Amino acid sequence: MNALIKSATIVDSKSDFHNETVDILIEKGRISKIAKHITNPKNYQEIKRDHLHVSQGWFDSSVSFGEPGYEERETISNGLKTAAYAGFTAVALNANSNPVIDSYADITFVKSKAQNNAVSLYPIGALTQRSKGEDLAELYDMTNAGAVAFYDYQHPISNPNLMKIALQYASNFNGLICSFPQESRISGLGVVNEHINSTKLGLKGNPALAEELQVARDLFLLEYTEAKLHIPTISTAKSVELIRAAKAKNLDVTCSVAIHNLMLSDVVLEDFDTNYKVLPPLRTSKDCDALIEGLKDGTIDMVTTDHNPIDIEHKKIEFDYAKYGTVGLESAFGALQTLFTTKKTISLLTQGKSRFKIKSTTINEGEIADLTLFNPNTSYEFSTEHITSRSKNSAFLGTTLKGKTYGIIANDLIALK
């Protein structure tokens, strides 16, 4: 693939051309020249866009595409197209499918479905067989097939001894264990945050305590095993405090936060809109503030869209019975830019790669072209017209977002809107 990007501002603190507006020549998938002006050498495809900015390719540590088994929600093919148009060159795919991805063959299958794509797909294998929380899955075999981590998506491991064994076993081959932060015997049948609004609305509450007990338990197990742990999608102020203290003790722990848990609090639930039914639930504005502060001081290592397409039949129903989940890839950049500067937003979208064994590249001559193209200077109201996913269950519908993406250049391919 050969291309010439014209008049692009580079946003990459590790680049020699950071904050400069330049032309970028790409030949055979690699950056061959960066300069103020480059004459097209061989009639290559020229890429020009309004207020064009370029950064390192973005990464999302938690996406679900449905396939195999839930293709009505999303397919791997269209999910990767969605990711590309949303600016992501790499995604970690949850084992949120039917059957659950819990074997060497399953990992091989999803990787084969993602071949020859601009977006690199990194499978996360189930931690336990069929994500039932009873017996460990084939962790080592899945590692050999290409799994980058192990996680029973949104299924907490209730047995602490099983989690202890998983941490100990995975440490033998540098495997990354992920643990969903919820104590189900405390959360019970709760569907929203247990607080004033849950009482007002008459909806069963899922208390912050349910998350914090699980986080505390897992951190004790981590300290005992001296392994490594990733806690996905924390949502409470106390969870931030617990992880901050664990890092101060040099425990090998990382965590993420879903973008919707940063931006939205439980006050949006007044109309019983099931697009806001997510797990963990939307918490209070105090929790949102603590999560944002956790990102700023480095306690929280990465953001995620926690992209989870749900078909209309399972969303447009009574709140208690609707499935959890929101799509988030398409709104990620615009949402984050309402909270942070462009520089900080790009930093958040490119962090976390090393934790999932993904190599980072810089925007310098001689480097492989792994690029996201975007315009940070436009505002618009997010609607279904902006959603490429098969499912349209977005918590950001009707929200004013700042900045839009054009697409990506990666894996020797161009994927632009």
Catalytic residues: 306
Q: How far is Cα 141 from Cα 11, in angstroms, rounded to an integer? A: 39
Concatenating the DSSP letter of every residue in 79-129 gives: HHHHHHHTTEEEEEEPS-SSS---SHHHHHHHHHHTTT-SSEEEEEE-SBG
CA 378 to chain centre: 23
286-392-61 Cα angle (round to 5): 60
Residue owning tokens 């294998």 = 125
Q: How far is Cα 342 from Cα 376, in angstroms, rounded to an integer? A: 7
Q: How far is Cα 182 from Cα 174, in angstroms, rounded to an integer? A: 25
Q: How far is Cα 40 from Cα 52, in angstroms, rounded to an integer? A: 18
Encoded tokens for 70: 């839930």
Q: How far is Cα 327 from Cα 392, in angstroms, rounded to an integer? A: 7
What's at 192, amino acid-wise?
Answer: V
Are 8 and 52 contacting, i.e. CB atoms less than 8 angstroms apart? yes
Are 201 and 188 contacting, i.e. CB atoms less than 8 angstroms apart? no
In which element (H, E) is residue 149 found?
strand 149-150
Are 278 and 325 contacting, i.e. CB atoms less than 8 angstroms apart? yes
CA 347 to chain centre: 14
Encoded tokens for 163: 């989690």
Are 56 and 361 contacting, i.e. CB atoms less than 8 angstroms apart? yes
Q: How far is Cα 220 from Cα 224, in angstroms, rounded to an integer? A: 6
Q: Where are the alpha helices (DSSP H) in 184-233?
A: 184-187, 196-201, 208-225
Encoded tokens for 9: 């501002």
Distances (CA, A) of 147 to 26, 79, 84, 259, 287: 31, 18, 21, 24, 32
Q: Compute how many other C-beta atoms are within 10 angstroms of the C-beta atom of residue 391.
A: 22
**N residues, the chain:** 417
